[in-house]
Every structure is written in structure tokens, then in C-alpha cells.
Amino acid sequence: MKQTLIKNISRLVTMNPASGRKGPLGVIERAALRIDDGLIAWVGSETECPKFDGEVLDAHTNIVMPGLVDCHTHLVHAGSRQGEFKLRSEGKSYQGIAAAGGGIMSTVRATRDASREKLLAEAGARIENMLSRGVTTVEIKTGYGLTLEDEMKMAEVIGELAKKYPADIRGTFLGAHVVPAEYRGNREEYIRIVMEEMLPAISGLVSACDVFVEEGAYTRDEAIAICTKAKEFGLAIHLHVDQFSDGGGGKLAAEVGALSASHLDYSDGVGMRAMADAGVVAVLLPGASFFTGGGRYPDARKMIGCGVTTAISTDYNPGTTPSLDPLMNASIAVTQMGMTCDEALLGITKNAALALGLSDRGTIEVGQRADLAMFDAPDEYYLLYRYGENCLAGVMIGGDHRGGGVL
Ligand code: NIG
Ligand code: FE
């Protein structure tokens, strides 16, 4: 058995407020933790640590948190869209640009044209970037292929990334991102292809299915049909809803038994209560709200008041938010969405794991995966306060440590 002890941790932020631990994040000061074969085996105060003579790592009084979970990304794509950003700065809208043939379709064209090798190399650099920020689990969506062949290509690249990098990478099929330009006059046929050709071919490569429900994308009824089919293939459901208008996304997510619903900028109390009752995790994407402009953000306070579990993710994509920084997103959630620092830190760890249906990570507890991020910071709040700065000192994934520090 491989056993490792990490000692000299100034603050172990367990994300579990059990008795004797400090605050809503369950902090243990001057802590140690032991890992047996990739799983956490002992957690506590260093003075109470049982005698141990295996590998010992010194955290040098850094703080240790669960590895960050980015539960919603579009990390595989070719091209970039700074030209559209410039147009938006001059008054054009995101949806106007999309209606004129740009937006998601411009990334679809670039991604269709790109080789697997190019997609793998560019997405690999983004994964490296995320690892360097303490991200240990990443969800990645397809959705820039929009033909059977190109969606397969994306799903296979996601599979290659999962093999190549130590982060735990989970794929989601987003064939219903937009209706591709060539099917604009015959959307029924494209939806038939999604349900009857793409889902059977791709379901074995991914663990979930997502649909973008919005004017200019898919309707509620189309989403219900696609999600019903996806569930027959054993896929979990995530949804993009209520990003630019109130489309009753919370209620829809509850009705289709979604694991998570993302964006929710325009969701109302009815939708929030439906999500709370059905146990749908809200994935809030502060960077997307920030970067598309207009000042609209999800009402996180109301959502939490309704009892909704709230996660935070980067939504990294080349259109609405080309940032790979979960902590920066958590800072925006605090300043613009009314979340407390504690809620925001839970949003990028424990609750983000729950948005992927994963309860074996996101907290530091006996029996959990040893996915850890170590930061050179006086406390966990400093990470949000110094927005945009990267304080990572080391990362451990499934008990293996690599790069950047002693972990
Ligand atoms: O999550 N809303 C839909 N999809 C992405 C944007 C994709 C793009 O603009 O390329 C999002 O914001
Ligand atoms: Fe998204």
C-alpha cells in the first residue's frame, strides 16, 4: 500500500463543517492528512497525528483545499473570437452576431476544419493551464462539430485528453448547441440526426448530454425530446438555460430530471423552487455574465434562499468567456452575484463536484479521493481577494503529486 502523510498545513479547508472544525468551510488549523492508495485515510490536527513512517510531504505552512472542480467548460475548439469582442465593444449584441452567421457557428467552422492533433494540442494547453491553477476535475462539452463525424471527433479528443492528463476529465455531448447553418430551414432533420445518429454513436464516449435552450438555439419541447432520448442511453442531463431570457429553464431542468442547469441569469423564483425540490444543482457562470456585458447576473442570493445547491464554473469557451480561472469566477460571484466568500469557495469545490454527480471529491474527508490543491496564501479568502492572481503551490490528483510545489 502507498501511504503518504502531508504535514505542516497552516489551514486545511475541508469543506465539511463537522464538529470541532472552524466555520462553514470546516477549517482545521495546523493540520496533517494521510493518504492511503489515493484515498484520504486520516485528517486532523498535526499534534494528534498517529505515528507514521511512510512518505512525508511538508506543506511549508501553505493552505490545502480540495482540488478545484470545473464542472462546465467548452475547452475543445479551434480559433478565437476577439473580432466579435471588438464588435460587441462597438455596440453589436452577442445574439445579433450569432444571427448574422458568427458566434457559435464561427467556432463550429474552425473546429470542423481543425485536425484532431490541433484540437488535442490546443485543448491540452488549456488543461495544463487549469492544472496550474489547482483544477483537478474538468467537464468538457462537445458542440462545435454539429455533424456526426465532427461531434465524434470532439468526443474522441476529450477521451484522448482524459488519457493524457492527470486531471479527471468528463465528457458531455452538446450536439444540440445551435442548429447548424446548413439545417436552419430543416431543424427537425438535424434534431432527428442528434437523437437517432449522434446519441447512439457518442453515448459510449461521454457521461452526459446537454442542450442549449434559448431563442436562436433549442426550444423547451425539443430539449425534452433530446433529453428523454439521452436518458435512454444512460446519460446524465445538464442544460444551458435562461442565459439571455427567462425560458422557464429551472422548471424544465426539474421536469427532465437534470443533474445540473447552467447560466440561470434570468431565472425566476418559480424555477428556483422547482430546482430546489428536484435537487437540480445550479451552475452559475459569473465569467459569462461579466464578459457578455449588460450587467445582468443570476440572483444567487435568491437561489440559495430557495434552497438550491449552487456551483460556480468558468464556462470556458471562445465566445462568452475565454477565461480558465475558477477562482476569478468565484471572485466575480462574490462581487456581482451576492454570494459570500464561503459560498463561492464551496461553489468551485464540493458543489461543483455535486453538479457532476460526484460525491467522492470536493471535500477533504476520510474515504474521499486525494484530489488536493495547495496555495501559498494566509487563508482561503485571500484567493478570492487577490482576484486574477495565481497562488497555487502544488497539486495532488488521486494521491499523485506533480509540479509546482511539494504536493
Ligand atoms: O455557455 N450558451 C451557449 N454556449 C456557450 C457559448 C458558446 C460560444 O459562444 O461559443 C455558453 O455561453
Ligand atoms: Fe456553456
**pLDDT tens, position by position, 355-368:** 999 999 999 999 99
Q: What is the 360 CA–ligand 1 centroid distance (Å)?
A: 29
The closest residue, in CA terms, to atom 11 on ligand 1 is 320
The pLDDT tens digits of the residues spanning 12-33 come to: 999 999 988 999 999 999 999 9
Ligand 1 site: residues with CB under 6 angstroms?
74, 103-104, 107, 212, 240, 243, 288, 315, 317-320
**Do residues 125 and 384 lie in contact, with contact meaning Cβ atoms separated by under 8 Å?**
no
Please give the average per-residue pLDDT across 95-124, as a whole number: 97
Report residue 215 as a C-alpha cell. Answer: 431563442
pLDDT band at 52 (very low <50, low <70, confident <90, very high): confident
Please give the average per-residue pLDDT across 136-162, as a whole number: 98
pLDDT band at 279 (very low <50, low <70, confident <90, very high): very high
Looking at residue 406, what is its pLDDT? 43
Looking at residue 402, what is its pLDDT? 63
Backbone φ and ψ for 202, nearest 5 degrees, come out as -100, -20
Report residue 400 as a C-alpha cell. Answer: 499523485
> How many other CB atoms are found less than 10 A from the CB of residue 109?
16
pTM beyond 0.75: the answer is: yes
In this structure, which ligand is nearest to the CA of 238? 2
- What mean pLDDT, rounded, does the chain reach? 96
Q: What is the 128 CA–ligand 2 centroid distance (Å)?
A: 20
The closest residue, in CA terms, to atom 12 on ligand 1 is 320
The closest residue, in CA terms, to atom 3 on ligand 1 is 212
Judge whether residue 405 has pLDDT over 50.
Answer: no
Q: State how beta strands 392-397 and 68-70 pair.
A: unpaired
Q: What is the 297 CA–ligand 1 centroid distance (Å)?
A: 16
Closest ligand 1 atom, residue 240 Cα: 2
Q: What is the 158 CA–ligand 1 centroid distance (Å)?
A: 18
**Do residues 249 and 234 lie in contact, with contact meaning Cβ atoms separated by under 8 Å?**
no
Report residue 331 as a C-alpha cell. Answer: 471572485
